[in-house]
Amino acid sequence: MTTYSVYCRQDLRERFSPAYSSGVSSLLYRVPTTHRDHPDDQIPYPKVHLTFRDKVPQTVNVSEDVTKDRILLAVDGTYSLDTEMHVPCSSTSTILYNGLENLNICIDTRRPKPVRTEQFIHRSCNPTCYLNHSVNQYKELKVFVLARRDLRNLEPVTLPFDTFLNSPNSREAVCLEHGSNRQECEGLLQRLAAEQAQRDRFMAAHHSRPVEMTTSKRRNTAYEEDDDAFKRARESYNC
């Protein structure tokens, strides 16, 4: 078993190029500007690294000591409202952020090459980081990963469970600290209860919809109505 790390430091001006959906673009023209320029434009990020095991990405870790509220990463990807996603897919690569107008913004960080480090950030019941945003004078939105507390070198970068996209086809969320011991993770149990409640609401709404008859059923129903009308007419004629 081979374990190795890939070190990266984001170059903000060259690397960050998000794509906005029409819903997010319209939203940005309504929300106030938080900063003239993004607060990280002149500040280099701390170094973080993505750990691999047998060529499989494992965790994202800081590579140096980091102070509380320090920006670690900008979440790069496609920004969409959850209502705009045709088939929502839940995984660590889709980050949910609801700190802007209390709307759920889904950030799809998937990209084959080069790999985005933020798409492998795990969730935890005791997260080391949190999300925040900035809207600059050009109405450009950035969502950042910031340190929740002082972090020591090699500590993992993790986010709370409310950043995990909840959808009817959700994959199972996994806590980095508890792993397969799901019953010991209170944060995960609360998350699973919320997912099940949403699935129940989805199924109730789906099965409560009226079923529209197909063309053949409509035709058969029409024939039956014609037969009944003919029988009534013949009976009245015989009388």
> Where do the structural domains in the chain lie, given as residue ranges?
3-206
- The band of 214, judged by pLDDT with boundaries at 50, 70 and 90, is very low
- Cα dihedral sign for 193, 149, 28, 13? negative
CATH class for the region spanning 3-206: mainly beta
User: Residue 159 class from Cβ within 10 Å (0-12 exposed, 13-18 middle, 19+ buried)?
Assistant: buried
Q: Please give the biggest Cα pair distance in the chain.
A: 100
**Torsion (CA) 156, 182, 167, 88 in degrees, nearest 10:** 50
What does the alpha-carbon distance between residue 72 and residue 117 come to, in Å, rounded to a whole number?
A: 11
State pLDDT tens for residues 17-63. Answer: 678 999 999 999 999 998 888 877 667 788 898 888 888 888 999 99
State pLDDT tens for residues 161-199. Answer: 888 876 555 566 778 887 767 677 877 777 777 767 766
- In the predicted model, is pLDDT for residue 120 greater than 60? yes
- In the predicted model, is pLDDT for residue 133 greater than 60? yes
Amino acid (1-letter code) at residue 83: T
The answer to whether 76 and 17 have CB atoms below 8 angstroms apart is: yes
Specify the range with the lowest mean pLDDT, choosing from 111-115, 137-141, 200-204: 111-115
What does the alpha-carbon distance between residue 224 and residue 43 come to, in Å, rounded to a whole number?
A: 77
The angle at the Cα of 171, spanning 170 to 177, to the nearest 5 degrees, equals 125
Q: Tokens 């993004």 map to which residue?
A: 38
- Cα dihedral sign for 178, 183, 186, 188? positive
- The band of 89, judged by pLDDT with boundaries at 50, 70 and 90, is low
The answer to whether 13 and 83 have CB atoms below 8 angstroms apart is: no
What does the alpha-carbon distance between residue 148 and residue 142 come to, in Å, rounded to a whole number?
A: 18
